[in-house]
Chains A and B, each alone.
Chain A
């Protein structure tokens, strides 16, 4: 089947979107969530079960402990306490573990073993997935139910000292707090002294119910010098003395109050042998958990070995200990030794509460929950419990009752274990099978794209896609067979849930057919290339296809950018990469212009990219560049050497324009500081948005809108010119209405409205302009002779998008729009047109500038920088579909505007029929290379320390970008089709 390069590329990107979707679904497993919102949290606790006779105990059991102190030591590995190090450096703790009134456990943390998710796991009892980050898009605060939230609701006074992550997660929950930052890893003494200095005062006061201390020093030492460093011993001794101080103080206070107090020592995650954490090795996963209280009194000779439990069990235990409802999303089970000393009835009551909560969670998350063994056990133990209660109420204390009770107890504990296990296997694991399927599809498409480069960039821009080559049908069916066999094996043996297995057979089969068809196509294309490659090499298509510096830069830049995605810092600071590349591109262009105008030879100097820099200042002194001579780089379109000689001012504009563009980029760069490392630096955007500088902001916005109008109107028809002017005026009115800018006659903005009318007024013009543009395009279809109509139509669509962007951009970002149009105009007039770059180069340059403008807008690879306010422009309430569309457009306005400019430029400037297909193909390829490499990188880095904070948001951005690219490619192809039908 013969396909145009553009259509082919669009199909490829569409398939890639499918692959990425499957990959993302596997990478971000759906979390186990209680469907009941946290808002209406006052659900009555489950009453005690009873068979026949009614029980009177329907309220929550009273708290077991009066005060709870949690000492969380970051990166405390289990052998630091229970191993030889503990014996040596933590004598007091070792004494408590071995002989004192305590229970000790080894708590297993689930990967990612990073502080923030671990704190969530400890306090909510759930296993945090990345989707949580998405759920609370803008605020880092924890929205789920947690022990802290329940304690606050119950009126407990909580005090916190330590890592400020807690303060961000639980804002306004602490009556008193002091956050220390974990930013300076090299500091491991100050950071802990800042916690300890409060201790004496707080312990003496005793006006609190819960005290949480989070010590960071140990983790910092681990990062600096690893777990075998001598600093570790000193730090452990310090921690031991802190623990002793707290414990003795609690014991001395205990005499005055009725209830005993509880001291919890735990770690959030361990430490690998190199001192880092994040992955799932035994050293990183195992943390000590020690519960100390005078209630846990033991007789001499009672040896308690640390048992293995889950970290999520802490939340349920703390809730029971404080007499609070168990957090709704908790998948943990109560640590039974804590309640062991209580009367049998209370013990059973606690266990019942926990099982009810877990089984409710199971019901909401697993469709076939009735078949779950845990649920069956729960039902049975509940029945037994009811019988026991009846007996208990009838006849008081007896031996039989006790025996029966302990039987019920065992039943409950089994049920708890099974329930907790089946819930936690729902999450916390990457669904590798779905990820692999997605990756395979994406990589196959990428290979296909790469293999068809020579054909697609050929003059005809058409390629043979052997869709129905019968020679490969055997291979095709074999591959399908193998894939389905794998599918059956994986799905029947998988112990965890798998999205791809959950799909219906038809959908899964479709994906498998697609994957094997792609494989066959690749094989046949590959054989074609290998067999047919040799004769073509003898008479080369491009006789003068030497790589210019520009091509080299484009290639190196693309490869460098793709490689940089493997480093977390480069992902965080990706804007720097793009700014750097765009600047270098401008210098390379400037070098090319100088070479054309001064040297006048078609040979290329070997000098690097910067050589002409030094000449900039002195260029005016140099007289004597005889006209221009264009490089013979008309690969696709054999363009004749231009006879026109640029003279006078135009020539100087050509020479100066790269420098103008560089200056524009520098200005835009200081408009929005983005990224992580330098995000706190003062920037123009913050200066402008502060309320003192409203006048400046108004002037700037007005000037930018004026510039936008001047630059856009020249290509429009008179009707859309008027519409554009009114629309831009409406944009200013909208911003004035919502109070971010003001009119000169308006002194004090008292009435701030939502600006619904103004925004809708602008929407009308946006739609009008887009409609006019579409009408022109359709007209061009009917009247093939008039070439200009189509150009005008495309420009109108471009200007409609510009108007929409102007409406959605915040006022301080309007200069970004103005500068983007200015740079586009400069590039078109003085760079691309005179220098005759071919379609592929122009496409890549558009893509680079689009990426740079994405970051100039203030975006970053962090979810928090998405400007959600764009989704509410002109809408009364939150309506999902328009809000999502507007937010996506506002975020990706930079790349989209550059892409629409590319379409217009190529169809108006070049006279070659294949330019648009080439451009579409290049655009698809240059977008899909980073995405496909990135998913492979992310798969291999899935246990990286920053997987949740850095790599996952970037993955989402990449997925979204690919979707946008697919839309752009479809638009390209549509434009290309109209051209095909014309000719």
Chain B
């Protein structure tokens, strides 16, 4: 593993963070009375779109796992469709989990679903970009000694930190401060976003810090 790899990782992550920041500022230019809290759903959509787009672009440009063979167009299309199905399924299963955690079943269903979408954007989309619709690879990456590159390592860290952020985001909901961001699901989406950003920042640093200890099977 070279330092250039870590640098590339850092730059891509900075791009991702940049896209999230853009998603806050660009809509306020185009749309009137846009604000992060009041028109939260709009922001969720734009943020999800921006992050997905950046991830796709990075995937096409950087090609972290260059080993993929050349394949036919139909193969690519089926692969893409599979990815979409996986994404949707992850959205729905997240939605189910949120409801099990106590989110209202009928009211605010759209809000809950968009929260599921944004959490999927932070977790499933990078997985799909990096690993493809391949469950075996997913399981490998998320088991203890299964990572084979710094990309997978950073994927692990960002995914976990997004989940932890969303989990921690639920904590302030019962407090009686009556702040606008305590409304379901705003604190959770913000928590997930902060978790994701924190993961993006931490993972290159962590990898850089531990670069001596980290050895990957394939590299």
Interface string of B122-138 (1 = CB under 8 A from A): 01100000000001001
In angstroms, Cα B175 to Cα A677, docked, is: 9
* Contact partners of B143 in chain A: CB under 8 A: 595, 599, 601, 603, 605, 607
Q: Which of B94, B105, B156, B174 contacts A606 (CB 8 A)?
A: B156
In the complex formed, the residue of B with least CB distance to A574 is B174
Instruction: Tell whether A576 is near chain B: CB-to-CB under 8 Å.
Output: yes
Q: Given A598-B139, A607-B142, A677-B176, verify A617-B89 contact (CB < 8 Å).
A: yes
In angstroms, Cα B139 to Cα A622, docked, is: 11
Binds B, one of A140-148, A660-668, A819-827: A660-668
Instruction: Tell whether A614 is near chain B: CB-to-CB under 8 Å.
Output: yes
Q: In the complex, which residues 546-604 of chain A have their Cβ closer than 8 Å to any Cβ of chain B?
A: 567-570, 572-573, 576, 579-580, 583-584, 587, 595, 598-599, 601, 603-604
Instruction: Tell whether B145 is near chain A: CB-to-CB under 8 Å.
Output: yes
In the complex formed, the residue of A with least CB distance to B99 is A666
In angstroms, Cα B138 to Cα A614, docked, is: 10
Instruction: Tell whether B59 is near chain A: CB-to-CB under 8 Å.
Output: no
Instruction: Tell whether B65 is near chain A: CB-to-CB under 8 Å.
Output: no
Q: Which of A572, A610, A662 contacts B163 (CB 8 A)?
A: A610
Instruction: Tell whether B167 is near chain A: CB-to-CB under 8 Å.
Output: yes
Instruction: Tell whether B215 is near chain A: CB-to-CB under 8 Å.
Output: no
Instruction: Tell whether A764 is near chain B: CB-to-CB under 8 Å.
Output: no
* Pairwise interchain contact A580-B175, C-beta atoms closer than 8 A: no
In the complex formed, the residue of A with least CB distance to B147 is A606
A230 CB → nearest B CB, Å: 22
* Contact partners of B138 in chain A: CB under 8 A: 615
* Contact partners of B178 in chain A: CB under 8 A: 185-186
Q: Which of A595, A614, A621, A666 contacts B90 (CB 8 A)?
A: A614
* Pairwise interchain contact A611-B135, C-beta atoms closer than 8 A: no
Instruction: Tell whether B160 is near chain A: CB-to-CB under 8 Å.
Output: yes
Q: Which of B93, B124, B146 contacts A616 (CB 8 A)?
A: B93
* Pairwise interchain contact A617-B174, C-beta atoms closer than 8 A: no
* Pairwise interchain contact B144-A606, C-beta atoms closer than 8 A: yes
Q: In the complex, which residues 86-130 of chain B have their Cβ closer than 8 Å to any Cβ of chain A?
A: 86, 89-90, 92-94, 97, 99-102, 105, 123-124
B159 CB → nearest A CB, Å: 7
In angstroms, Cα B89 to Cα A677, docked, is: 33
Interface string of B45-80 (1 = CB under 8 A from A): 000000000000000000000000000000000000
B157 CB → nearest A CB, Å: 9
Q: Given A599-B139, A666-B102, verify A614-B93 contact (CB < 8 Å).
A: yes
* Contact partners of B105 in chain A: CB under 8 A: 670
In angstroms, Cα B124 to Cα A614, docked, is: 8
Instruction: Tell whether B164 is near chain A: CB-to-CB under 8 Å.
Output: yes
In the complex formed, the residue of A with least CB distance to B85 is A618
Instruction: Tell whether B170 is near chain A: CB-to-CB under 8 Å.
Output: yes
* Pairwise interchain contact B94-A569, C-beta atoms closer than 8 A: no
B86 CB → nearest A CB, Å: 8
In the complex formed, the residue of B with least CB distance to A599 is B143
In the complex formed, the residue of B with least CB distance to A669 is B102
In the complex formed, the residue of A with least CB distance to B175 is A569
Interface string of A613-638 (1 = CB under 8 A from B): 11111100110000000000000000
* Pairwise interchain contact B175-A567, C-beta atoms closer than 8 A: yes
A676 CB → nearest B CB, Å: 8
Instruction: Tell whether A608 is near chain B: CB-to-CB under 8 Å.
Output: yes
Instruction: Tell whether A529 is near chain B: CB-to-CB under 8 Å.
Output: no
Q: Given A570-B174, A576-B102, verify A605-B142 contact (CB < 8 Å).
A: yes
* Contact partners of A401 in chain B: CB under 8 A: none
Q: Which of A604, A613, A618, A666 contacts B94 (CB 8 A)?
A: A613
* Contact partners of A587 in chain B: CB under 8 A: 97
* Pairwise interchain contact A569-B100, C-beta atoms closer than 8 A: no
Instruction: Tell whether A884 is near chain B: CB-to-CB under 8 Å.
Output: no
* Pairwise interchain contact A663-B100, C-beta atoms closer than 8 A: yes
* Contact partners of A579 in chain B: CB under 8 A: 101-102
10 pairs from A and B in contact (CB 8 Å cutoff): A567-B175, A576-B102, A580-B170, A603-B145, A605-B143, A614-B123, A615-B138, A617-B93, A618-B89, A662-B100
